[in-house]
């Protein structure tokens, strides 16, 4: 892995923020009914639409679907909000997702149940450090993952999602371009291996996917040889190496309907099981192991920041208008340029950047 050696991640700070992330308080059955009723009424009154990420809790995903919103990955959430007539988009997810929604929808109000929901990838890529590094390597094309701040996006040549990243990097590599990739080291390493591109990799990683353990996964596969292994490419390479399918969230959900297997071992956030069960009722799903020897699981397969999204916070945001996401309009315009570049590229290939690209098999 060709990590950028001069960049260090403040892992202590990330660990502190993980420890501070308070999951949304559980609600009783009666409270849930009351909150759901209230939110449905508020969405109508405020001309708002709810978009939720696959990693949020079932209650939010069910509510988004039931109220004409959507459940998807970060880019499709933003695009859905853009195409929808509602003047307010409520984003259940983490902060960079709210920002991306605002970048694509500067004229709309974007609200979130919590503005404190971080992402370890976003945190690992401080804009000032990133810009300085890019400025020092002007011969390289800058490609960043969607899990970054508006400021980092604004410095990039391309913003990519995991669905389309490999195709875009291969396209750049074919043109002879050398790349700075940020912030996910594992996804960058995977793409580098698949494409052979010259890539300098930012050393960030996702605290959820980093926790999957290769040895324990091998044992689990021996116990359930009939199970297909589905892996998100933010996972370590020794986990990816064991995958039957490597893909983005949307691609992994698609895989459970396309593969004949009745059982799946899944290496991504467990929030995804809601949509997988819906897509393939009757099939069985297991989390890939995060425990075992040397385990220091910060997340145990559920993003601590996604878990901050809850019904009560959502109702409060709609009622009060608090937790509005703001992106400086000029910055938003600059960040939109590399996002638009990706969307145009996807349009040319007639694929969606969010998951209609072919499922990626291990290299
Ligand atoms: S699951 Fe990982 S990549 Fe996704 S929001 Fe959480 S920390 Fe970020």
Residue 300 is predicted with a pLDDT of: 77
Instruction: Answer whether 119 contacts ligand 1 (Cβ < 6 A).
Output: yes
Average pLDDT, the chain: 93
The residue behind tokens 């011969």 is: 139
**CB under 8 Å, gap of 24 or more: what pairs does 217-223 form?**
217/242, 217/265, 217/267, 217/288, 217/289, 218/242, 219/289, 220/265, 220/286, 220/288, 220/289, 221/265
45 Cα–ligand 1 center, Å: 32
What share of the chain has pLDDT > 90, as a percent? 86
Flag whether 38 is in a domain: yes
How far does the centroid of ligand 1 lie from the alpha carbon of residue 143, in Å? 18
Q: Are residues 34 and 90 in the same domain?
A: yes
Same-domain check for residues 101 and 38: yes
Q: Is 66 within the bounds of a domain?
A: yes
Closest atom, ligand 1, to C-alpha of 304: 6
pLDDT band at 79 (very low <50, low <70, confident <90, very high): confident
Question: Within this chain, do residues 238 and 143 fall inside the same structural domain, yes or no?
Answer: no
Check if the beta carbon of residue 312 is closer than 8 Å to that of residue 234: no
- State the residue for tokens 């007539």: 85
pLDDT in tens, 249-292: 999 999 999 999 999 999 999 999 999 999 999 999 999 999 75
Tokens of 335: 């960040």
Which pLDDT does position 78 carry in this prediction? 79
Q: Are 98 and 51 in contact (CB under 8 A)?
A: no
pLDDT over threshold 80, residue 96 = yes
Shared domain for 26 and 107, answered yes or no, is yes
Residues 178 and 240 in one domain: no
**pLDDT grade for 163, boundaries at 50, 70 and 90:** confident
Per mean pLDDT, which range of 89-93, 102-106, 195-199, 352-356 is the poorest? 352-356
Q: How far is the CA of 178 from the centre of ligand 1 (A)?
A: 27
Of the pLDDT bands very low, low, confident and very high (cuts 50, 70, 90), residue 297 is low
What is the mean pLDDT of the segment spanning 74-95?
Answer: 91
Tokens 């995958």 — which residue? 243
Cβ of 147 closer than 6 Å to ligand 1, yes or no, is yes
Residue 76 binned pLDDT confidence (cut-offs 50, 70, 90): confident
**How far apart are the CA of 121 and the centre of ligand 1, in A?**
7
Q: Report yes or no on 88 lying in a domain.
A: yes
Residues in the chain: 363
Alpha helices of 269-355 — where are they, by DSSP H? 273-279, 311-320, 329-349
Whether the per-residue pLDDT at 129 is higher than 50: the answer is yes
CA of 47 to the centre of ligand 1 (A): 29
Task: Decide whether any atom of ligand 1 lies within 6 Å of the 118 Cβ.
Answer: no
At residue 25, does pLDDT exceed 90?
Answer: yes
Residue 295 has pLDDT above 60, yes or no: no
Task: Indicate the helix (H) or strand (E) that contains 63.
Answer: helix 58-66
Q: What is the pLDDT of residues 332-351, one digit of tens each?
A: 999 999 999 998 998 888 76
| 3-class state of residue 197 by DSSP | coil
Q: How far apart are the first and last CA of the chain?
A: 15
Distance of CA 343 from the midpoint of ligand 1 (Å) = 22
Question: Tokens for 268?
Answer: 């991504």
Q: Is 354 part of any domain?
A: no
86 lies in the same domain as 220: no
Tell me, what's the pLDDT at 357?
Answer: 39
pLDDT, tens digit, for every residue of 182-236? Answer: 999 999 999 999 999 999 999 999 999 999 999 999 999 999 999 999 999 999 9
- 216 with 227, same domain: the answer is yes
Cα-based distances in Å from 158 to 129, 272, 358, 363 = 18, 27, 21, 23
**Whole domain around residue 195: which residue ranges?**
125-206+331-349
If one counts the domains in the chain, the total is 3
Pair of tokens at residue 290: 């995060």
Q: Following CA atoms 150, 155, 161, 166 in sequence, which dihedral angle do they give, to the nearest 10 degrees?
A: -170
Confidence of residue 360 (pLDDT cuts 50, 70, 90): very low
In a domain? residue 298: no
More confident residue, 158 or 1: 158
Say whether 292 sits in a helix, a strand or coil. coil
Residue 233 lies in a domain: yes
Confidence of residue 293 (pLDDT cuts 50, 70, 90): low
CATH number at residue 62: 3.40.50.10800
Sign of CA dihedral 183, 184, 188, 191: negative
Of all protein residues, the one whose alpha carbon is nearest to atom 6 of ligand 1 is: 303
Burial class, 22, CB count within 10 angstroms (exposed 0-12 / middle 13-18 / buried 19+): exposed
Ligand 1 pocket test: pick from 11, 74, 98, 119 the residue with the most ligand atoms within 8 Å of its Cβ: 119
- Same domain? For 239 and 324 the reply is no
| 173 or 351: which leads in pLDDT | 173
Percent of the chain as helix, strand, coil, to the nearest 5: 45, 15, 40
For ligand 1, whether the C-beta of 169 sits within 6 Å is no
Give the model's pLDDT for residue 213: 94
pLDDT at 362: 38
Checking if the pLDDT of 75 tops 80, the result is no
In a domain, 358, yes or no: no
**Pair (198, 340) in one structural domain:** yes
Residue 283 lies in a domain: yes
* Residue 172 and residue 100 share a domain: no
* 69 CA to centre of ligand 1 in angstroms: 22
Give the residue-averaged pLDDT of 167-188: 97
Measured from the CB, is residue 305 less than 6 Å from ligand 1?
yes
Residue 352 or 20, more confident? 20
The reported pLDDT for the residue numbered 292 is: 55
Is the preceding peptide bond at 183 cis, omega within 30 degrees of 0? Answer: yes
Q: Is 74 in the pocket of ligand 1 (CB under 6 A)?
A: no
- Among protein residues, the one with the nearest Cα to ligand 1's atom 4 is 119
């Amino acid at each position: 892995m060709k990590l950028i050696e001069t960049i260090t991640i403040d892992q202590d700070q990330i660990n502190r923020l993980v420890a501070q992330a308070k999951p949304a308080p559980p609600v009783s059955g009666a409270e849930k009914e009351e909150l759901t009723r209230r939110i449905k009424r508020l969405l109508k009154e405020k001309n708002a639409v709810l978009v939720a990420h696959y990693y949020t809790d079932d209650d939010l995903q069910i509510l988004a679907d039931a109220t004409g919103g959507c459940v998807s990955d970060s880019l499709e959430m933003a695009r859905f909000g853009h195409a929808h007539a509602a003047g307010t988009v409520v984003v259940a997810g983490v902060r960079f997702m709210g920002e991306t929604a605002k970048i694509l929808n500067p004229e709309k109000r974007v609200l979130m149940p919590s503005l404190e929901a971080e992402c370890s990838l976003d945190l690992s890529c401080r804009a000032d450090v990133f810009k300085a590094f890019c400025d020092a390597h002007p011969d390289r094309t800058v490609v960043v993952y969607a899990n970054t701040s508006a400021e980092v996006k604004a410095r990039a040549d391309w913003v990519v999602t995991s669905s389309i990243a490999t195709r875009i990097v291969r396209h750049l590599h074919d043109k002879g371009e050398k790349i700075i990739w940020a912030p996910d080291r594992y996804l960058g390493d995977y793409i580098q291996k698949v494409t052979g591109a010259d890539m300098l990799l930012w050393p960030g990683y996702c605290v959820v996917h980093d926790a999957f353990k290769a040895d324990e996964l091998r044992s689990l596969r021996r116990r359930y040889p009939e199970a297909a292994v589905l892996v998100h490419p933010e996972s370590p390479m020794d986990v990816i190496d064991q995958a039957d399918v490597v893909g983005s969230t949307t691609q992994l959900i698609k895989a459970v309907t396309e593969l004949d297997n009745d059982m799946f071992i899944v290496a991504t956030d467990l929030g995804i099981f809601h949509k997988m069960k819906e897509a393939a009722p009757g099939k069985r799903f297991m989390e890939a192991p995060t425990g075992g020897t040397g385990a220091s699981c910060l997340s145990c397969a559920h993003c601590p920041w996604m878990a901050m999204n809850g019904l009560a916070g959502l109702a409060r945001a709609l009622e009060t208008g608090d937790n509005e996401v703001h992106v400086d309009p000029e910055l938003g315009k600059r960040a939109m340029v590399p996002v638009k570049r990706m969307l145009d590229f996807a349009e040319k290939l007639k694929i969606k950047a969010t998951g209609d690209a072919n499922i990626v098999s291990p290299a």
